[in-house]
A and B are shown apart, each in its own frame.
Chain A
Amino acid sequence: MIRELIPRILVLVGVAVILAALIAEAVGAKDHVEWGVSIDTSSNPGAAMTVFAFSSSGVVSISVEGAKSIYYMKLKGDPMIALRQLSTINISLVDQTLVQDIRAGVAYGAAGLKTNPLLLKALPLLANIIPVEVKTPEGGNNSLRIALHGGQGVLVVVEPDGDRVTFSMEYRVTGYRRLDTNILIASGFLVSVAGLVFYRMLRSW
């Protein structure tokens, strides 16, 4: 029975590949996503937006309106690490919105920040805790363009200029390619047939 393990695996893998082709055709991956949100900052001294590429790699463009100053940092690994770091320096999140777009391989969200306003101004000084880069706004609309690898994210922290901060995000997937659906069906069929032939050969020995 153990000698039939390899043909069994081949047949099952072939079937799974055909299934993969059908799933890809029905609900395949997306290569582009756009999103926007407006955060009320009348009672919060700051707002934040995060984009985390959990399975894809891509380039994210974030536009911010209504900002006095913008800080951002790139994150590696779990975005929970960034949240832990924020709570360590007494910044808590309110009115959170989080979207997990599995077909684009990216999660994104925004929130208001409850903290001491002086702390937001001091963020660049806390580079040993969170590496922060400052983007000085020019006019009303500021944009960032950041390349993200799989497992990387970006956190944008904004000190508001008025009562509202508006974030707009566009994410384009890079580096993703899969085999064509027809090639997948043919490969799955071939792998399964190879398994069956192998099984027949083993039985005849």
Chain B
Amino acid sequence: MRSIVNLVVIDSSDSLRPPAFDIMMIIISSLGAALATIQPISEPHVAARIILDPTLFAATIFLALRGSAGIAGLIQRGIMDVYLSYPVSRRSVFLIIYISRVVLPAGTLLVSPLLVAAIVLFPVVSRDPASYIIVFAAYLVQAVMFGSIFLLLGLVARSTGSASVASITVYFAYNITSLLLSIIGTTLRSDSMTSLADAMSFYYMVYRSMLGVEVELWQFLLVPAILLLVILAGYIYFTRRFEPR
């Protein structure tokens, strides 16, 4: 257990190293602060959504560069060999890089503007902190889903350039697919297409359900199902097929 914690600390020190991480954090926190102060947000879940919408984009780009390209860099520089020489199982190493390259950066980047907004809008947020946290959790699931895909791409690509380009392309393709489904669905008056486009954003489904709009069960489950599949694929690849050289 101590070895696992040590490796998490070592790898997180690389993935969250200043100044890039700090610059991104101060920019998105300031942006969150600006969004929280220029409009009269009256409800905690609305505040969380307004602040996290632009933050999710920034966090995803960070995950593509530090998560995906970062893990490819570890392989290129031979550091993954060192990680795998630790007296821990491959399963544990996968867990470690998953925490330090996906969950920790995504969580930290999403939580920092929310902290600022919680202070600024304390009288509003304190009325229903649970809904504030639920919206945060929904955005975190979406960010972790993107991060998991990027991690898998980084492990497979093994080149920092290819990993970052592939990750950003997948992110772009995912969003454009959602947009196209929405446009085509609206044009063809197809509810199933627009529902699918909406379901590709887990946070939007959670937010809509908090507004009292009816959301079907499959729409809630789509993104978590993709997330589980990608984690499983990454886990199987890393523990059975991955060779660091």
Top 7 closest A-B pairs, CB basis?
A: A20-B33, A150-B46, A16-B29, A57-B42, A29-B40, A176-B40, A177-B123
Contacts of B41 in A (CB 8 A): 29, 55-56, 105, 150, 176
Instruction: Contacts A23-B33, A176-B124 given; indicate if A29 touches B39 (C-beta within 8 A).
Output: yes
Chain B's nearest CB lies how many Å from the CB of A154?
Answer: 14
A126 within 8 Å of B by Cβ? no
Closest chain-A Cβ to B43's Cβ sits at a distance in Å of 4
**Taking the complex as formed, is B222 at the interface, i.e. its CB lies under 8 A from any CB of chain A?**
no
Given A2-B12, A5-B16, A8-B22, check contact A20 B116 (CB 8 Å).
yes
Q: Which of B25-64 contact A (CB under 8 A)?
A: 25-26, 29-30, 32-34, 36-43, 45-47, 50
Closest to A57 in B: B42
CB atoms of A56 and B119 under 8 A apart = no
Residues of chain B in range 1-25 having any CB-CB distance to chain A below 8 Å: 8-9, 12-13, 16-18, 22, 25
Contact with B along A114-147 (1 / 0, CB 8 A): 0000000000000000000000000000000000
User: Beyond A20-B37, A55-B46, A176-B40: 8 further Cβ-contacts under 8 Å?
Assistant: A1-B13, A15-B26, A17-B116, A77-B208, A105-B39, A150-B46, A173-B40, A178-B36
Partner pick for B37 among A23, A54, A88, A149, CB 8 A cutoff: A23
Nearest opposing residue in chain A for B17, CB measure = A1
Q: Please encode chain B, from 83 to 124, with 1 for each CB lying within 8 Å of some chain A CB and 0 for all others.
A: 000000000000000000000000010001101100111111
Evaluate contact between B120 and A17: CB separation under 8 angstroms: yes
Tell me the residues in window 1-27 of chain A with beta carbons closer than 8 Å to chain B beta carbons: 1-3, 5, 8-9, 12-13, 15-17, 19-21, 23-24, 27
Question: B40 to A56, Cβ gap below 8 A?
Answer: yes
Give the distance in Å from the alpha carbon of A149 to the alpha carbon of B211 in the complex: 9
The verdict on A179 contacting chain B, using a C-beta distance below 8 Å, is yes
Tell me the smallest distance from the CB of A40 to a CB of chain B, in Å: 27
- A-B residue pairs in contact (CB < 8 Å), sample of 20: A5-B16, A13-B119, A15-B30, A16-B32, A17-B33, A17-B119, A24-B38, A29-B41, A56-B41, A57-B42, A57-B43, A76-B212, A77-B211, A102-B39, A103-B40, A104-B40, A176-B42, A177-B124, A179-B120, A191-B119
Identify which of B13, B37, B122 gathers the most chain A CB atoms within 10 Å of its CB. B37
B interface size (C-beta, 8 A):
46
Q: Is the CB of B40 within 8 A of A31?
A: yes
CA distance A19 to B31 in the complex (A): 10
**Distance of A31 Cα from B213 Cα, bound (Å):** 27
Q: Are B120 and A184 in touch, CB under 8 angstroms?
A: yes
Complex contact A178–B39 (CB within 8 A)? no
**Chain A proximity mask over B179-205: 1 for CB below 8 Å, otherwise 0:** 000000010010000100000000000
Q: Contact between A105 and B213 (Cβ–Cβ < 8 Å)?
A: no
Chain A's nearest CB lies how many Å from the CB of B185? 9
Please, how many residues of chain A have a CB less than 8 angstroms from a CB on the other chain?
51
Q: Contact mask A165-205 → B, CB, 8 Å, 1/0? A: 00000000111111100001001100100000000000000
Chain A residue numbers with a CB within 8 Å of B37 are 20-21, 23-24, 27-29, 178
Residues A13 and B112 in contact, CB atoms below 8 Å apart: yes
B17 touches A178 (CB 8 A): no
Q: Chain B residues near A29 (CB, 8 Å)?
A: 37-41
- Docked-complex contact A175 and B22, CB < 8 angstroms: no
Q: Which residues of B contact A21 (CB under 8 A)?
A: 37, 120
Q: State which of B29, B38, B122, B207 has its C-beta within 8 Å of the C-beta of A12.
A: B29
CA of A56 to CA of B39 in the docked complex: distance in angstroms?
Answer: 7
Most-contacted residue by chain B among A20, A29, A179, A188 (CB, 10 A): A20
